[in-house]
Every structure is written in C-alpha cells, then in structure tokens.
Structure 1
Amino acid sequence: MKKKTVVIGMSGGVDSSVAAKILLEEGYYVIGLFMHNWDDSDENGECSSANDWADVQAVCGKLDIPCYSVNFSKEYMEHVFSYFLDEYKIGRTPNPDVLCNREIKFGPFVSYARRLGAEYIATGHYCGISHASGTVQLLKAADTEKDQTYFLNQVKTEQLMDVKFPLAKLTKDEVRFLANKYKLVTAAKKDSTGICFIGERKFKEFLQTYLPMQKGRIVDLSGKEIGEHDGLMFYTLGQRRGLKIGGVKDEDNNRWYVVDKQVNRNILVVSNGEGKELYSKGLTATNLNFIGDMDFSSTFACTAKCRYRQTEQDCAVSINDGEAIVEFLDPQRAVTPGQYVVFYKEDRCLGGGVIDEIIK
C-alpha cells in the first residue's frame, strides 16, 4: 500500500524535528520543508536562517527524508511585516506571529507543499486537532505551559482540514527526551524567543530603522510633565521598565507604569503605582475568526485570554456586525489594543480577534 505523503514545516528547532520523526513512525512518507521568511542578518552579521536551514538538513539526513527550502520573504513583507509597521505607526502593539501562521505557514506554504505531493500538512506546534464532530476543532495541547493555540487563533477552518499536529499529547520534556533518544542535532537547541525577524537584536534599535523616532512628553495622571519618551511605538500598556523616570518631586516613591498612549498628541501617560487605571472590565475586538462549527451569531459564555501567557478568564461575548464585545467577570490588567483576544470552551480554541478598544 502506498504511503500517504505529509509535508512538515521544519524550523531547525527541536519541536519540528521530533514531529517529523513521529510522523515517520506512524507510517507516512515525510518531506521536510523549511521556510525562509526574512532577508537579514543579526547585529553580529550572522544569518540565523542559514544556521536553521543547516540544522534542518542535518535532521532530515539523520531521518533519511528529503527536505526543501522555500523563500517566502516577499510574501512575509507584504502580508505580515507591513501590517506590523502600520500598527506601530498608530500606537498599537501588534502580534505578527499570529498573522504569520494564517498568511504564511497555512497559506503559501501549503500551496508549495501541495506541489511536492502533500496529502497532509504538519507542523511542530503544541496543539491538537479533531474531526470527531464532523467539523474541524482546534484543541489545546497536553502541555498547558507550551500550548500554542493562541498563535493559531486566526487560521481559517478550511486551512486546518488536512493538518496534523504530532506533538499534541507530548510535553516539552518528552520532546527533548525523544530528540536525545533519536540523536537529533537539535536535541539541546534553545527555543526561539521573541519576534522571529528581530532575532537577538535589540527591539528598539531594530524598530527605529523602519520608523522615525519621535520624542514627546511623559505626563502623570494629572497632566504634569515628568519626563520625555523616545517614541510611543517603544512602549506598551502596563510597561514599567525603560521609562527612565527617576524621583519626581511630590510623588510617592513607587514604580511608574504606562497607562495610556495619546497618539494624536504624542503623549505617554504614566501612573505612580499600579492603580485602577491599568484595569479594564472589557474590550471590543474586530477581525474576528472562529474555527469549526458553532453558533457565534449572538451572545455566548466562554473563557478568554488577551496575551499568550495569561490564564484564561471567564467572560461573556456578544457579536454584532463583525465586532465582539467582551465583558470579563473580573477586571483585567493591561489589555492592549493590537494584541489578540482568544476564546476557549474547555479544551477547544474557538478562535479570536484583534483587540480594538478597551472598556474601562
């Protein structure tokens, strides 16, 4: 019987390496496909993408499977990075990794994989998938600390139809164990952190090469000027590091927190101490995407989180004309426009949307 073909996205990391091995053991004909999404080197002149591709080749050689490299840097620039810059221009804090999954990893990547004969697509994401109910359901991973459904909330239902996630039931420790067992060169490789195209460079220095730095006033809640910011794009709600605010006369000696960005006036508003100004009772979200069958037309109760590492929070969601109004049971800290709110029902990820406005 002819083996079914799976093309797996390989990043040069331990997760996709082990995922490829698992697919082999499950009896598939496996092809590794590496995506090159960014044309640049780090501050030391070293191209991390070239190093990752070398690791992919080494792993595929060890597993005796073919591998290919494809350059999607043009598509990434047009569909992900341009959005990233546009959001920062208007004072928001985007999450390009979410958009990359929909626009690249489950977009042109899949088209290229089909040309290689793929019947299924696979990745090393920590999440699961189910077709048991007659529709696709995106499920949380067994390793709750590593679950990556948050980053897949914008992937369309149809994009998930023929997808496999081999790491769904594994913990990170188990993945490391298997990588060592199979003597893969990526076994001890560190996990990548931060935004992929920035790498090890300092975020501030990277961003100001693309967007002009516009200094402005830092004011407290009363409107009193207490400092100068380097550009609103460098700050996010709830931030307390890097504000460069020393002792301020007639103010308590507490930490300062960013509580607002007034883009039209180029003013950064801060609070002395973590007060109620950082908390909101709800939010509105647009660019909604829901995964699988469910009636999302009116109001439903679920849990949600507004950033990747956050614990899920109870909420009620009302949908009206493509906008979601999310009301939390408990006030939430530092809800940030431009980030994503992601909805859950028990172990199922329902989808999500872009946070548009905060409800104080």
Structure 2
Amino acid sequence: MTALKKHRVVVGLSGGVDSAVTAWLLKQQGHEVVGIFMKNWEDDDDTGYCSSNIDFVDAAAVADVIGIEIEHVNFAAEYKDRVFAEFLREYSSGRTPNPDILCNAEIKFKAFLDHALRLGADKIATGHYARVRCIGPAGNALDVHQAQLGSGRFELLKGLDPAKDQSYFLHRLNQAQLSKTLFPVGELLKTEVRRLALEIGLPNAKKKDSTGICFIGERPFRDFLNRYLAKTPGPVKNDKGQTIAEHVGLSFYTLGQRQGLGIGGLKAKGAQRGGGDHAPWFVARKDMDSNTLWVVQGHDHPWLQSLQLTAGQASWVAGVAPQGGAFAAKTRYRQMDAACVLSGVDASRFTLDFAQPQWAVTPGQSAVLYDGEVCLGGGVIEGNG
C-alpha cells in the first residue's frame, strides 16, 4: 500500500488553545507545519482592549514547544477595507451585521489562504470546530488530506462538539476554499482539546477562550461604536404608540436587546402582553424613516416572534442553491436548529418559513441552512414576518 502523501500545511495560530492543538495534531500526522499569526486590527495597540500583542507572544511560545516556524502577517489594511467598512455601513443602516462571518470569508479564507499558497502550502488549517468532507464521484468519502478541487464534492459539516460547533460562521466558504482547508479539532470535543493541550505541555493550555469581536475586545460595545457612528437621538415608543423614553441613535440598538435601554424600571399601565407591568423591555423594531425605536415588554411578545424571513446575498457551499423543501436553519449563533421550509430561491435570495416562531429575527444577521450535519450555506436576513 502506498503511504499517504504528507503535506505542507500552514496553520493560523491565534494564540488560543484550539489553533495550538490543531498545529500539534498535524505535526503528529507527519505534515510539514508552518504557523502564521494574523494581525487584523491595529488601531488600539496601545490600549488594554487590544490583545494582539499578548496573543502573538502566546502563539510564538506554542510554535516553540511544537517545534514549528511562525510568521507574523499584518492583514489590518485588508480587514479595514473588507470587514470593518462593511460593519460600519450595516450599523449605520440600522442593521446588525456579523463581522466574524465576513472575516472568515474575506480574511481567514481569502487573504490568509492566498498568503499561505504563496508560501507553497498544500493546505491551510484553523482551530474552528467544524469538519470538511469530500464525496467522490462514486458517492464514497475521500481523504480530505489528499482530495483536491475536482476530486469530488466538498461539504462543510458541523463540529462534533455541539456546544462549540462553528459551521454557522463558515457558511460562506466555497468549494475552492474548502478543498484547501483542514479543521482537525472539529473531530474533537473541547474537553479533549484542553486535555491534549495539558498533556503536550502547551503554555496556553488553560488560556480562556476569546469572546466577542476581535477588534472590540473587552470594552463596552456602545463605547466602541461611539467612536465611529453619529448619534441621532429619537423617541422610544411602546406597542401602544406611547413615547416612553429617548434613544441615543438607532445604530446603537439591535432587535431582542434587553440591556442598556434606560427604561428598565418603568411601569407601563395596561402593558400586560408578554409579562405584565414589571416585565423586562426588549427592542422589537427600528423605524429608520421616523428614527423611532419600538420596545415591548416580555420575552414572548408577539412582535418578537417571526414565522418567516427573507434573506439576500445568498452563498451556497456547493456552488449552487439547494432545491426548495424541508431543512433546518439557525438565525443566530448558539441557537438550536429550527425546522423550516426553503422557497423562493434564486441567484441571491431565498425565503424560509418556520414550523415554530423564531425569536428576534434580526436584519443583518445570517440565516444559515442545514441538512442534518451538513451546512448548505445561507444569506443575510433582510426582513422578517
């Protein structure tokens, strides 16, 4: 039997434990592994909010323990042009974008992939909790380490750890990108990754997982937006049309938001729908034309429930849209798959009808479609009903 070819694999080392174990696993498999640390933001290098310098030190320490080379690459200009500019445009328009999805599509699997290929990479790898499968012409699964574009159909699968699955953030990846990508930790549970890191003696084995958007760090989100978006105050109204407060600007709120509304202790006489006088308030609608923020009381208020959504900017992993029919979807990360029917599919748009109402379906976020464990792709939510 011919031994499997070993590859030159370029790994995105973030400084976190997942990418560290990714690099170690590939090295153990006999591949030639090279690490790259991506610097995607540099406006706050001198503040406590930006951890990129600390992360690079951690990534370099990991590379030293594993015994691989590491290169520091600056993608800040690409990030600002391709991700951050779109992030601000969407917020300015009253929508709530997901920059992590755009970052994966434009930076980690485009700018980074292009750079890795220039370094002679056969494959790239990241620490995402997802999996790649290649189905050959005869319907058999091929070894993704060996499969190339044209070998068969590449599929994006959920990570085996349901609590950590990140396929939602990767749904815009295409056949060419998946054909070059490996996700080793997608085959593991997070507890196994931590255990391996301790056994290997990785210096970041107990490092806390990063949360939130990379360029915002641990700072309050509104404080960050204040630096870039204009404030245009306007009325806050309840579902009876009563003005009950003033907002600082519609861009600073998102559907389903409960904190930071400034009306937490307010009683609204007769506002019984969804929980009574003392029920918490939630953002339910944003009217850009009248600059009005609409809020309701109670998590289960009808204004927060949607049985249908429309989405645009559709992107399908297979390169072609699936036929309409019964599937499952997520309208936000960490949501359980919801049964739905896909219809109205054309080159860039589609409609989803849900069996059960979905909570706070938010324009600007992504609706991602699944067929079992296979992530088919998705689109950006335009409207709900």
TM-score (norm 2): 0.90
Give the counterpart of 1:285 among 311, 322, 337. Answer: 311
**Mean alpha-carbon deviation: is it higher for 302-311 or for 209-218?**
209-218
Q: For 1:264, what is the secondary structure of its paired residue? A: coil
Instruction: Please tell me whether residue 250 in structure 1 is matched to residue 269 in structure 2.
Output: yes
Alignment of 1:1-360 (within 5 A): 3-41=6-44, 44-45=47-48, 47-133=50-136, 134-245=152-263, 246-248=265-267, 250-251=269-270, 252-274=277-299, 275-292=301-318, 296=322, 298-318=323-343, 319-359=345-385
Q: Structure 1 residue 63: deviation in Å?
A: 0.9
What is the identity, as a one-letter code, of the residue corresponding to 2:339? D
**Counterpart Cα distance in 2 of 1:342 and 1:46:** 31
Q: For 1:139, what is the secondary structure of its paired residue? A: strand
**Counterpart Cα distance in 2 of 1:103 and 1:74:** 12
Q: Structure 1 residue 115: deviation in Å?
A: 1.7
Q: Structure 1 residue 226: deviation in Å?
A: 0.3
Q: Deviations over 1:138-178 (max 9, x none)?
A: 01111010000000011222111121111121111100000
CA contact (8 A) 1:135 1:293 kept: no
Q: For 1:320, what is the secondary structure of its paired residue? A: coil
CA contact (8 A) 2:45 2:53 kept: no
Q: For 1:106, what is the secondary structure of its paired residue? A: helix
Q: Deviations over 1:169-205 (max 9, x none)?
A: 1111100000000111110100000111000111111
**Counterpart Cα distance in 1 of 2:234 and 2:211:** 30
Q: Structure 1 residue 292: deviation in Å?
A: 2.2
CA contact (8 A) 1:142 1:171 kept: yes
Identity of aligned residues (%): 47
Q: Deviations over 1:107-156 (max 9, x none)?
A: 01111111211011111100110112420000111101000000001122
Q: Structure 1 residue 214: deviation in Å?
A: 1.7
CA contact (8 A) 1:102 1:156 kept: no
- How many residues align structurally? 358
> How has the CA–CA distance of structure 1 residues 46 and 85 changed in structure 2, closer, same or farther, with 3 Å as cutoff?
closer
Q: For 1:204, what is the secondary structure of its paired residue? A: helix
Q: Structure 1 residue 47: deviation in Å?
A: 4.2
Unmatched 5+ stretches in structure 2: 137-151, 271-276
Q: Structure 1 residue 44: deviation in Å?
A: 4.3
CA contact (8 A) 1:94 1:339 kept: yes
What is the identity, as a one-letter code, of the residue corresponding to 2:315? N
